[in-house]
Amino acid sequence: MRIVQLANFYGPRSGGLRTAMHHLGAGYAARGHEVVLVVPGRHGAVDELPGGVRRVTIAAPRLPGTGGYRAVDRWRVQRLLGRLRPDAIEVSDRLTLRGLGTWAARRGVPSVVISHERLDRLLGQFLLPQATARRVADAANTRMAAAYDTVVCTTSFARAEFDRIGAENVRQVPLGVDLTTFSPLHRDPRLRASLAEGADALLVHCGRLSPEKHPERSVDTVAALLDAGHRVRLVVAGEGPRRPALERRAAGLPVTFVGFVPERGRLARLLASADVSLAPGPHETFGLSALEALASGTPVVVSASSALPEIVAPSCGATAADDPVAFAAGVSGLLAGDGAARRSAARTRAEQFGWPASVDRMLVALTGS
């Protein structure tokens, strides 16, 4: 069958969404399906990705205030879909491409939408009081669930807002992690020593530096650890609109910003060489970078209000309230424990999230069988 994957918030530095779409698409292709990935970009282009996925890029304008994201209007996407004639569509966008479920239903094309974020949480953070945000999200989610054959959520946390409205076409499909690229075997003592610059512990924050991810909490965690007498250094890997403010916030603290790390091998070495990874985002619906840290053998401190407590078990990490003192306590506890046992448990936990299982379950969602 011909499967068309679609997303708007996809770019050279779009992190988890881009990684997930590439792995799922390559998995579909490996099982004999024709896969076309449709995304926005600076210029129109057609190319082939590793794994046999054809990528069609549609020229689209940049969205102000998003750090470089682009979005193409759904009417152009629908015209392209008319030419591609898909047997099924997979949409990783519940906002700007929300009309594609209706397009598919009118043509008898099976459709799946992947919910990569909690709409009620995002509305509550940026725009509306909590009660109003929930009502608006419930109305939008009701319309979306009715428009698509299947709504895929990656965790129970992500699914909660659809269970609240009684949606019956929801499947829970955890994402996976590349267990070869991310491995404890890539731990590099010399790299660790170079990055730590004499500190006793090396921390890492890996992710997009945007407001909803609350990266400032990782910087503030370093300050709290220093106040408690710990000698640590934090490496921040990622880009985004919050970086200038974060650099000002980190002035005088042992924090190094390395920017976006495009080479997966280099990122794998960084994650494996760290002692603890920080994942402070309170709205994460899966947290692929945290799972990559676990696969690298590195324990993670995660936000208690996100989906990550479903992924990061007590044996391989810590759950903390959304404040730097709690995160610092989580880091301290991990550093005080048996490091070798913790790293082994982290890898063991990650091995429960291979991409082949995710691909198989997504194909069931796409085909209905």
pLDDT-derived band at 369, boundaries 50, 70, 90: low
pLDDT of amino acid 190:
97
In the chain, the number of structural domains is: 2
Average pLDDT, the chain: 94
| pLDDT tens digit sequence for 298-308 | 999 999 999 99
What pLDDT score does 103 carry? 96
- Are 22 and 101 in the same domain? yes
Which residue segment(s) compose the domain that 204 sits in?
A: 184-350
Do both 232 and 171 map to the same domain?
no
Are residues 40 and 10 part of one domain? yes
Least confident of 57-66, 205-214, 245-254, 313-322: 57-66
Q: How many percent of the chain have pLDDT more than 70?
A: 98
Segment 316-363, tens digit of pLDDT = 999 999 999 999 999 999 999 899 999 999 999 999 999 999 999 999
C-alpha span between 15 and 13 (Å, rounded):
6
Residue predicted with more confidence, 11 or 172: 172
Region 160-172: mean pLDDT is: 97
Question: Looking at the structure, do residues 44 and 138 belong to the same domain, yes or no?
Answer: yes
Residues 266, 170, single domain; the answer is no
Question: Do residues 200 and 55 share a domain?
Answer: no
Tokens 């990266």 belong to 215
The per-residue pLDDT for 15 is 73
CATH number of the domain where residue 168 is located:
3.40.50.2000
Query: In the predicted model, is pLDDT for residue 31 greater than 80?
Result: yes
- What pLDDT, on a 0 to 100 scale, did the predictor assign at position 318? 98
Same domain? For 160 and 209 the reply is no
CA atoms within 13 A on the CB side of 283: 19
Does one domain contain both 170 and 36?
yes
CA dihedral 32, 39, 178, 221 (to 10 degrees): -160
85 or 68: which leads in pLDDT = 85
pLDDT bracket for residue 9 (50, 70, 90)? confident
The region of weakest confidence among 10-24, 133-147, 150-164 is 10-24
CB 254 within 8 A of CB 233: yes
Burial (CB < 10 A; 0-12, 13-18, 19+), residue 277, is buried
* Same domain for 220 and 278: yes
3-state secondary structure string across the chain: CEEEEECCCCCCCCHHHHHHHHHHHHHHHHCCCEEEEEEEECCCEEEEECCCEEEEEEECCECCCCCCCECCCHHHHHHHHHHHCCCEEEECCCCCCCCHHHHHHHCCCCEEEEECCCHHHHHHHHCCCHHHHHHHHHHHHHHHHHHCCEEEECCHHHHHHHHHCCCCCEEECCCCECCCCCCHHHCCHHHHHHHHCCCCEEEEEECCCCHHHCCHHHHHHHHHHHHCCCCEEEEEECCCCCHHHHHHHCCCCCEEEEECCCCHHHHHHHHHHCCEEEECCCCCCCCHHHHHHHHCCCCEEEECCCCHHHCCCHHHEEEECCCHHHHHHHHHHHHHCCHHHHHHHHHHHHCCCEHHHHHHHHHHHHHCC
Are residue 321 and residue 232 in the same domain, yes or no? Answer: yes
User: Is pLDDT above 80 for 173?
Assistant: yes
Same domain, 163 and 192: no
Range 164-184 average pLDDT: 97
42 and 119 fall within a common domain:
yes
